[in-house]
Amino acid sequence: MKIIVTGGTGFIGHALVDVLARKGHEVVVLSRKAGHAPQSSVRFVEWDAHSAGSWQSDVVTAEVVINLAGAPIAEGRWTDARKRILVESRVRSTRLMVDALAGRSAPLPLLVSASGIGYYGPNDDRLLDEASPVGQGFLAELSAAWEAEALRASQFGTRVVLLRTGMVLEQDGGALPKMWLPFQLFAGGPILPGTQWVSWIHRADLIGLIQWAIATATLSGPVNAVAPEAVMMKTFCATVGKVLHRPSWLPVPGFALQLALGELGSLMTTGQRVDPAKARAGGYPFLYPTLEPALRAIVNEEDQACLPSSTR
């Protein structure tokens, strides 16, 4: 198929593009910056996520659009200016894409659009599935607005899948490399209170869920892109320590994060216990349903990357 990917040079996007190309798809990456095409079937097209351009000609002939565009959530304090960037990079770019879909002679078969479990807002021990209501707070409002723009495509006859993604784990990006360092220095530990829930997913499973969404014609609406095993922060950090053979003894006070990061600190001191109900009911075969094997696979990849190519 011809598949368009926005945000295709990011932490999730570049790995997804590589997998799709290896599967034989024609992949068009819409990006502000050119990248190195991993396969001859990958083509980069410039877009600024704010205005129409030559990229629209590819939208007209695409069979799938995967919308991953958006500025990183956890880079810098959530000042008013930063919040505007986070909103515009998601809501405005999605609006632009959906507006372009309106110009097609036939409906786009599928739009897969990113969202986040921040949709549910800070929560307690309640298990949240795709039918749970929107929560409160900045991330909940952002996710709801983001999803609303994507869902407009259903008015044109497009099947829309909304990926509510949790903490994505891999060794080359996301939150995990930032968490490795304190443990490697024997100073790792949970972010207090430690009882907040962490709903996570290995990047390989996130990419697998996207491919599953493409192949499953009956799937639409929100899909919780998390592993079946949510864990508390204290368990998450204890497991990181176990896998790295390091202690998990030095807790990080929540008030210190609040002082350092402001409102962004709440992202780390609160959480959501999220259930991938649709994926489980639909029979998606998780590669890493539990945390310890996921982390061990990532550590093994990191170790292999340090070996001479002749020994791999």
- DSSP category for residue 175: S
List C-alpha distances in Å: 296 to 175, 245, 262: 16, 11, 33
- Both tokens of 144, joined, read 């709801």
Low-confidence ranges of the chain (pLDDT < 50): 305-312
Judge whether 110 and 158 are in contact, CB under 8 Å. Answer: yes
Burial of 40 (0-12, 13-18, 19+ CB in 10 A): exposed
| Residue-level pLDDT at 95 | 96
Q: What is the DSSP string of 21-82?
A: HHTT-EEEEEESS----SSTTEEEEE--SSS--TTHHHHHH-SEEEE-----TTSS---HHH
Could you tell me the domains of the chain? 2-303 (3.40.50.720)
Give the whole-angstrom CA distance, residue 139 versus residue 247.
32
Sign of CA dihedral 64, 68, 70, 71: negative
| Residue-level pLDDT at 308 | 38
Nearest partner of 143 among 186, 93, 86, 101, judged by Cα: 86
Antiparallel, parallel or unpaired: β 231-232 and 197-198: antiparallel
Residue 145 parent element (H or E): helix 138-151
Antiparallel, parallel or unpaired: β 159-165 and 173-174: unpaired
Judge whether 223 and 161 are in contact, CB under 8 Å. Answer: yes
